[in-house]
Amino acid sequence: EDQVTQSPEALRLQEGESSSLNCSYTVSGLRGLFWYRQDPGKGPEFLFTLYSAGEEKEKERLKATLTKKESFLHITAPKPEDSATYLCAVQDMDSNYQLIWGAGTKLIIKP
């Protein structure tokens, strides 16, 4: 059964304190792994898609990496505006449409 587990559930950092969020997944074959950002009261906002182990993508202070079992979202020198819930999802090779979502990591950056 396809499964996605995100850790930690919540993470509090000081402004400028770098860290990483983890997304562990189990699928029979990976079509793609996706990272989204969700602000309170809003819908998820697309950040990255990763397709194969070893792939990396960057956007401002965020960098996503992928292995065969997990993905990391690295946050370098975060700012308070990076505070949000970060969601991870995977798509199985056998699925054309359905994503399996993790419960998310709530990130709080204190000034």
Where does this chain bind other proteins (CB under 8 A)?
Answer: 4, 32, 34, 36, 41-46, 49, 87, 89, 91, 96-104
Q: Nearest approach, Cβ of 7 to other proteins (angstroms)? A: 13
Residue whose CB is less far from other proteins, 2 or 74:
2
Q: Which residues, at least 6 apart from 3, have a Cβ–Cβ distance to it below 8 Å?
A: 25, 26, 100
40: CB partners within 8 A, 6+ apart:
none
CB of 45 to other proteins, least distance (A): 7
Q: Nearest approach, Cβ of 111 to other proteins (angstroms)?
A: 27
Residue 82, phi then psi, degrees to nearest 5 = -80, -5
